Amino acid sequence: MEGRVNWYSQLMAAFGIFVLVYSAYMVLSALLSLQGGRNDEAQYSLMIGLIGIALASSSLFLMRKRALQVKPPPEVFTVVRCSGCGFRLVRRFQVGDYVNADIGQCQQCNGRMTIASIYAESEGGAGA
């Protein structure tokens, strides 16, 4: 999915640049039409060119702004709990962790340690 999003972003950026270049060409064409005495053609070309420049510029600016706001993935934690004494341990998630998985013996009472929950902690606050 990451590759597809990157490809789409590059395609949209190329399209925005194309529209920007074409709009600049339309403004130049309007200036040449104005020199040639074709006022109606100059007005339409100028209007199309300026609208295109505004839309392409804002689109490219927003795409750049959105790309800079990419957030890192949240941290994921695993809560391990002893079924005997209730000892609780919070550690970083490890590949292969799943709820109710048997982890081993408790450090306190030698009871069985199992994964009680897995949660993601957002940047602003604590998770479950």
- The answer to whether residue 125 scores a pLDDT higher than 60 is no
| Least confident stretch, 55-59, 63-67, 110-114 | 63-67
Over the range 7-19, which residues count as b (16 or more CB within 10 Å of their CB) and which as e?
eeeeeeeeebeeb
Domain limits of the chain? 2-68, 75-121
Q: Which CATH class is domain 75-121?
A: alpha beta
Q: The pTM is what?
A: 0.49
Q: Are 63 and 16 in contact (CB under 8 A)?
A: yes
Check residue 1 and give its pLDDT.
Answer: 46
Residue bearing the bigger pLDDT, 1 or 31: 31
